[in-house]
Chain A
Amino acid sequence: MNEYVYLYRGYEPAASSEEMQKKTAKWMAWLKDLSDKGHLKSFGEPLQPGGKVVKGKKKQVTDGPYAEAKDVVGGYSIIIAKDIDEAVIFSLGCPIFEDGGSVEVRTIGQPGTTDGN
Chain B
Amino acid sequence: MEIEAHFFRHESGRIVATLTRLFGMRNLALAEDVVQDAFCRAMETWESNGLPRNPSAWLMTTAKNRAMDLLRRERTARAAEPELVRLFESEWTLVPTVDEAFSKDAVIDSQLRMMFSCCHPELAQEGQVALILHILCGFSVKEIAQAFVSSHAAIEKRITRAKQQLAESANLFDLTVPNYQSRLSAVLEALYLLFNEGYHGSSPEAAVRKELCQEAIRLVNILTGHPRLATPSTYALAALMYLNAARLPTRLDGSGNLVTLFYQDRSLWDHQLIADGEALLDLSAAGTEPTKYHLEAAISCTHARASQNEDTDWQLIISLYDMLITIDPSPVILLNRAIAVAQLYGPERGLQEILDISDLERLSSYPFYPATLGEFQLRLGNCLVAKAHFATALSVARNAMERNFLQRRFDACREN
Contact = CB atoms under 8 A, between A and B. Distances in A.
Interface of A: 21, 24-25, 27-28, 31-32, 35, 42-46, 75, 77
B90 A44 contact: yes
A42 B90 contact: yes
B312 interface: no
B96 A25 contact: yes
B91 A45 contact: yes
B100 A75 contact: no
Contacts of A25: 96, 99-100
A45 B90 contact: yes
B96 A43 contact: no
Interface of B: 86-87, 89-93, 95-97, 99-100
A43 B90 contact: yes
A31 B99 contact: no
A44 B86 contact: no
A15 B152 CA distance: 52
A32 B89 CA distance: 12
B99 A46 contact: no
A28 B91 contact: no
16 contacts: A21-B96, A21-B99, A24-B92, A25-B96, A25-B100, A28-B87, A28-B92, A31-B90, A31-B92, A31-B93, A42-B90, A43-B90, A43-B93, A44-B90, A45-B92, A75-B92
Contact of A46 (B89, B91, B100): B91
Given A21-B96, A35-B86, 7 more contacts: A25-B100, A28-B97, A32-B87, A43-B89, A44-B92, A46-B91, A75-B92
**A-B interface, 3 closest residue pairs, ranked by CB to CB distance from nearest:** A43-B90, A28-B96, A24-B96
Contact of B99 (A24, A43, A44, A77): A24
Most A CB contacts (10 A, CB to CB) among B87, B91, B93, B96 go to B96
Contacts of A27: 92, 96
B315 to A, nearest CB: 59
B269 to A, nearest CB: 44
Contacts of B99: 21, 24-25
> Counting chain B CB atoms within 10 Å of each CB, which of A21, A42, A77 scores highest?
A21
Contacts of B96: 21, 24-25, 27-28
Nearest to A17: B99
Contacts of B91: 45-46
A42 B91 CA distance: 11
B96 to A, nearest CB: 4
Nearest to B92: A43
B92 A46 contact: yes
